[in-house]
Every structure is written in C-alpha cells, then in structure tokens.
C-alpha cells in the first residue's frame, strides 16, 4: 500500500490543501496524519474539516490536546499559549469534538504511529541518534513514524548503534531491513530551513520511503495569521522554514 504520512499542519490551510493535492497526484492510497492539526495558524476549523475528509488515520498532537483541555497550557511557550488560547476561542464545536476523539499514538499499525515518540507520544522531540536508539528499543513495530519536531529526518538501527540524518525533499530510503524511525517533517510550519510543505510517501510493499516538498501560497497563510491578530513571528517564520 502507498501511504502518505503527514504531520504538524498547525492550522495552515493553504499548506494542507497544497499537500493534499500533491498527495492525490502521487497515487497514494491513504493519508495518515501524525497530529497537530491546529496550533500556530489561523484556520483551525478548516484544517480539521479537511483532515476529516481526506485522512484515513489521524492522531492527536500536543497542540490539539491543549486546545481540548487534555494537557496544561502552562507547559507551552508564551507564543504557543497565545495561539492555543486563540484557537480555543475560534475553533468550531464540530472541529473540537473531532479533536477530542483522537489519540496521540497508534502502535497497532505498521508503521507504528506516534505524534512525538514511541516512549512519549506527546512531548519528546526525537532529534538525536541516542534518543532514536532508546525509542526504537521501546517500539514494538519494526518501523515507526513520528512528527512533532517539524524536521524531516530518519533514524536506522540494524544490530548496532542508531544512525540518522535529515531528509531533504527527494530523499529516498529503503526501509526493508532493520528498525527505523521516520519523520515526514511539517506540513504547516517546517523548521528545517525549507519553507515548503513537507510530507512522505511510503510504499509498505517495497518499504521504499520518499520525502517530498510542495510549494504553497505562504502569503495567504501569513495574511490569515496577521488578520487574526496572532503574534507576527508566526507569520514571519513561514517564509524561512524556521
């Protein structure tokens, strides 16, 4: 099966729409979302509605969980907390109910799905090989998909220490042997220096993974943030992918 893995949409509707269009053109049979439908962007309800329509599997991320009240907003930075409070006040009742129905992990699948990591699906940022080594040791499935860090990357372990690297658009990896943690990067707010929407195409018959990047209308997303009165940094960072 050809699966498109996406994560960290963060209320950025133009990026999500562009990614969905590119995914449809790729021939992917399903879309699996690793969470954070809402967060920093100004169109949370629209993103949740699109996820309900287009995603076959969807997790909850920490930004989703703070909006539903399941985790404490005091654990967020001031900018993230401002965006979370705004989202609480502006999200539709239907979108909020959908977020409440989601969980931050689904290890029953192959690949196993975790918003943040196999050992802490809500909070852990997996950015180092030693973290990945410990996470893969705690992981049931041979391959795990993670989001949360907003960085497209991979980690691999085959009997020794874990290795890993970032995965620019166009990176292809054969995941057919050993254990893997793969991160598709962020649709709505990349933080790896490439502002394009990030996603990953995974063929679970051949276990080939291809990291993808898709252009979108950043001006439209930034303007929505500015009109909403959210912190300016949330619109400015979209242009640099940081």
- Confidence class for position 37, pLDDT limits 50, 70, 90: very high
The pLDDT value recorded for residue 225 is 98
CB-based burial, 208-231: b 16+ in 10 Å, e otherwise: ebbbbbbebebeebbebbeebebb
2 pLDDT higher than 90: yes
- Confidence class for position 132, pLDDT limits 50, 70, 90: very high
Summarize pLDDT for 162-202 with one digit per residue, the tens.
999 999 999 999 999 999 999 999 999 999 999 999 999 99
Instruction: Supply the CATH number for residue 49's domain.
Output: 3.60.21.10
How many Cα atoms sit within 13 Å of 206 on the Cβ side? 10
Summarize pLDDT for 98-123 with one digit per residue, the tens.
999 999 999 999 999 999 999 999 99
Domain of residue 72 covers 2-240
Considering the entire predicted model, what is its pTM?
0.97
Residue found by looking up tokens 């329509």 in the block = 53
Give me the number of domains the chain comprises.
Answer: 1
- Confidence class for position 159, pLDDT limits 50, 70, 90: confident
Q: State what percent of residues in the chain have pLDDT above 70.
A: 100
The pLDDT value recorded for residue 160 is 85
Degrees, nearest 5: CA angle 54-3-29: 60
The pLDDT value recorded for residue 210 is 98
């Amino acid at each position: 099966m050809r699966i498109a893995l996406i994560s960290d949409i963060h209320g950025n509707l133009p990026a999500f729409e562009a990614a969905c269009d590119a995914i449809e053109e790729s021939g992917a049979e399903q879309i699996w979302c690793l969470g954070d439908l809402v967060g920093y962007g100004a169109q949370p309800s629209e993103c949740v509605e699109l996820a309900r329509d287009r995603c076959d599997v969807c997790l909850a991320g920490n930004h989703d969980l703070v909006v539903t009240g399941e985790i404490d907003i005091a654990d967020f930075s001031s900018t993230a907390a401002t965006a979370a409070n705004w989202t609480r006040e502006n999200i539709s009742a239907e979108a909020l109910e959908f977020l409440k129905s989601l969980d931050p992990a689904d290890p029953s699948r192959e690949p196993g799905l975790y918003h943040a990591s196999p050992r802490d699906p809500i909070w852990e940022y997996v950015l180092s090989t030693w973290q990945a080594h410990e996470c893969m040791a705690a992981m049931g499935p041979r391959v795990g998909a993670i989001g949360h860090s907003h960085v497209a990357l991979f980690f691999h372990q085959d009997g020794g220490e874990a290795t890993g690297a970032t995965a620019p658009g166009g990176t292809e990896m054969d995941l057919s042997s050993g254990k893997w943690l793969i991160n598709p990067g962020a649709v709505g707010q990349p933080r790896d220096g490439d502002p394009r929407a990030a996603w990953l195409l995974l063929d679970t018959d051949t276990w080939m993974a291809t990291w993808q990047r898709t252009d979108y209308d950043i001006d439209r997303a930034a303007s929505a943030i500015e009109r909403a009165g959210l912190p300016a940094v949330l619109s400015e960072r979209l242009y640099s992918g940081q």
